[in-house]
Amino acid sequence: MMISGPDVELYIPAVHLWQVQRQHPTSTSSTLRVGWDMVSFMYIFLLYPISCSILHAVSRLTPHHKGLGLDREKPIGVVSEQGRWYQPSDHPVHVLFKRNGQDPTDIVYPEVGSPEWTAAYPSRELDIASLPSAWIDALDHAVAQGRIPDIPPSVMIDDTPTYPGGLDPMSDFVCSTTPKCNSNPDVWWDAPAGIWATSFDDGPLPASDRLFEFLDENEEHATHFFIGVHIREYPERFLTAFETLGGMHIVYPKGLSIIYTHEILVDDIAVHTWTHPHMTTLSNLEILGELGWTMEIIHNSTGGLVPAYWRPPFGDSDNRVNAIAKEVFGLTTVIWNRDTQDWGIESNFTNVPQIEVQVDDWVRGPRSPGLMVLEHELSHETVQAFINIYPVVKDHGWKMMSLAQINGTWANRNPQGSLLRPIGNDDSSPQPMSKEESIMALIRSFRPERYWRTGDQEAYRHFGADSS
């Protein structure tokens, strides 16, 4: 296959250097960088017309790489830069997760699941006294800039978050998502027309194994809203989501320092807090800990990727919580417009047949807005509910996509449009990129500066004042 395109630059991303070091500890980042500069020069000026065909052929002939889940039968496919679940490298939030000013390519992260890795994170209880000062400084700056509304925490009365002083949860000032206030444009409620936004809460858990298998078997991709303590407790399942479902499919042509990514990050890893509390009942510092520690463990377990999405447990958020998530950590709040209520299976509130009837009604209904569906990888029953409804959803013409896939596709179709307000209220579905477009997008994405933030703390302080 011969493809062409202007201004092509080919570099190895820092995250892939981490993957090489993790799988091949004898390799060093400096050796790879030197070798890669030479290979990159030869590639661009001498081998460009034929290299894509060679690499594609190699990827289809290379055996499965242990631990990375390479599927040589799957076609090449990537999502756009806007369509990744993690923040771009120039996002100021990276400053909050730097390690003492180190060059990120020189950081050696503890092996995921090792005692050193586990000891770095809280167990069940969060201690606000142990919060990193950088997080607190960023919060204080956002508060001083007037970007965090002074909404008092709610209290639970009859299992409902209730605000003191008679504050109306549906007011524009509070806008609680529990009673479904949707006036805050920064909160994502709906999918585009004809799209079933596939996401699962509460993992990783033992039940996640079957879900991962089913998604992989059917070549479907989802957003996984992971709980921090569950990542700490089930690190191997987290790695399955990141390395296998997440892509990172890497081919090592023997004797060459070329790293070729077969399929990049096609499942999303997102934040579902550290301990799964009602977020509006917490203080600002407690909110900081719930979000920050979950982002920290994801960041340190993926070679430095910072997630861009979060979902509040129980759908409980308001303008204060949303603002802390956005202004401090750059997170987009995601709710839902359809609830399978699969969380109620264990308590006999619902059952799988009832969920099947409910979903059948949804997919026969209007296609606009699309369906942002609440589902869980909580138990074998909740996973089976999804497996049972899957053919019904597909048979009625709905396209399943992860949140990052939705954002990337609609950003390509509507470059001037907001990612949270996708263009179009018709029944059209996004068209996948051609193989040539996919490879070109892949080549353009190989820039280490897109994966790592190198600014200092002062640069981050401007984020609170200048971001929209």
Name the DSSP letter for residue 191: B
Residues classed as catalytic: 201, 376
Residue 17: per-residue pLDDT: 34
Helices then strands, counting H and E runs in the chain, come out as 15, 14
pLDDT in tens, the chain (468 residues): 332 333 322 223 333 333 333 433 333 343 444 454 455 555 445 554 455 445 444 443 433 333 333 333 332 233 344 478 999 888 999 999 976 556 655 678 899 999 999 999 998 889 999 999 999 999 999 999 999 999 999 999 999 999 999 999 999 999 999 999 999 999 999 999 999 999 999 999 999 999 999 999 999 999 999 999 999 999 999 999 998 765 443 333 333 333 333 334 368 999 999 999 999 999 999 999 999 999 999 999 998 999 999 999 999 999 999 999 999 999 999 999 999 999 999 999 999 999 999 999 999 999 999 999 999 999 999 999 999 999 999 999 999 999 999 987 654 433 333 333 332 333 333 344 444 444 444 444 443 333 222 233 333 333 333 333
Residue 107: per-residue pLDDT: 75
Of 280, 330, 317, nearest in space to 135 by CA: 330
The amino acid at residue 182 is N
CA–CA separation, 182 and 190 (whole Å): 10
Residue ranges and CATH numbers for the domains of the chain are 14-454 (3.20.20.370)
The answer to whether the Cα torsion of 401, 337, 91, 224 is positive or negative is negative
Residue 410: per-residue pLDDT: 55
Do β-strands 260-261 and 250-251 pair in parallel, antiparallel, or remain unpaired? Answer: antiparallel
Residue 263: per-residue pLDDT: 39
Respond yes or no on whether the N-terminal peptide bond of residue 104 is cis (omega within 30° of 0): no
CA–CA separation, 375 and 383 (whole Å): 9
- What lies within 8 Å, CB to CB, of 394 at 6+ separation is 400
DSSP E strand boundaries for 123-176: 155-157, 160-162
Residue pointed to by tokens 């390519």: 105
Half-sphere exposure of 373 (CA within 13 A, CB side): 30
For the record, the structure tokens of 267 come out as 């499942």
CA–CA separation, 142 and 155 (whole Å): 24
CA–CA separation, 371 and 432 (whole Å): 19
Of 383, 439, 435, nearest in space to 211 by CA: 383
3-state secondary structure of 338: strand
CA–CA separation, 300 and 109 (whole Å): 6
What is the Cα Rg of the chain in Å? 22
Residue pointed to by tokens 């209520």: 341
In DSSP notation, 286-330 reads HHHHHHHHHHHHHHHHTTS--B-EE--GGG---HHHHHHHHHHH-
CA–CA separation, 100 and 244 (whole Å): 31
The answer to whether the Cα torsion of 77, 82, 87, 90 is positive or negative is positive
Beta bridge partners of 199: 223
